[in-house]
Amino acid sequence: MPPGLEIDHEASLNNTIASYAENILISTGRSDWKSRIEDDDDAVLVRELKKLIGRGGKYADF
């Protein structure tokens, strides 16, 4: 983590973001992702997954 970055380890994260039907964790070892991971040049897998399970995708739940 960057020096001086304060992180709240006590507050509950429950109900702080919208829930999703699918969650996928991709371990890359990187810590410098863009805010939209699919915009990264190396994020081919993420872009393809988004096409399939993202809004309007073949396997989307909505």
> CA 17, CA 15: separation in Å to the nearest integer?
6
pLDDT tens digits for 5-23? 888 899 998 888 777 766 7
The torsion angles phi and psi of 53, rounded to 5 degrees, stand at -115, 0
Alpha carbons 59 and 39: distance in angstroms, whole number:
21
pTM (whole model) above 0.85: no
For residue 49, give the H/E element and its range.
helix 44-53
**Residue ranges making up the domain that contains 47:** 1-62
Q: What pLDDT was estimated at residue 10?
A: 92
Contact 17, 37 (CB under 8 A): no
pLDDT tier at 62, thresholds 50, 70, 90: low
Structural domains counted in the chain: 1
Beta strands in 1-62 (DSSP E): none
Residue that has been written with the tokens 């999703």 in this structure: 20
